[in-house]
């Protein structure tokens, strides 16, 4: 058994269910952009163009890029601003480790979430 990792949540649940209780897993899932956009033709084209342009991680400059990250604006911010989130100029290639570190520090529901 474990306590939910969401700051201030005292819920205890089976450790096999992850780091958050069911309520906070559902809230985090709802806060994320609809995952279907990542399997769209437009996003696949974006990913291919970004990884072709940036074959080495633009952050650590040591590892092959495996993730096409929206940067400096997030996908959601690009859509809200009326910009095309599938335009490769709004992306950068990152290795999985750098992408996960950046996402954990900046995204709602990430490790940085303390609300």
Sequence spans of domains, the chain: 1-31, 39-110
Is the model more confident about 51 or about 30?
Answer: 51
* pLDDT value for 113: 47
Q: Is the pLDDT of residue 16 over 70?
A: yes
Contact yes or no for 66/96 (Cβ under 8 A): yes
Contact yes or no for 58/99 (Cβ under 8 A): no
Q: What would the pLDDT profile of 64-98 be if each residue is shown by its tens digit?
A: 999 999 999 988 899 999 999 999 999 999 999 99
Q: Indicate yes or no: pTM above 0.85.
A: no
Is the model more confident about 45 or about 19?
Answer: 45
Q: Tokens 């009326």 appear where?
A: 82
Q: Are strands 12-13 and 91-94 parallel, antiparallel or unpaired?
A: unpaired
């Amino acid at each position: 058994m474990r306590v939910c990792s969401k700051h201030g949540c005292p819920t205890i649940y089976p450790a096999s269910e992850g780091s958050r209780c069911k309520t906070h897993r559902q809230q985090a899932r709802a806060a994320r952009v609809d995952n279907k956009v990542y399997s769209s033709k437009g996003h696949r084209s974006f990913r291919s163009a970004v990884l072709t342009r940036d074959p080495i991680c633009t952050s650590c400059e040591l590892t092959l890029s495996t993730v096409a990250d929206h940067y400096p604006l997030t996908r959601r911010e690009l859509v809200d601003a009326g910009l095309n989130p599938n335009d490769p100029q709004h992306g950068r290639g990152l290795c999985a480790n750098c992408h996960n570190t950046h996402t954990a520090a900046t995204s709602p529901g990430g490790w940085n979430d303390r609300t």
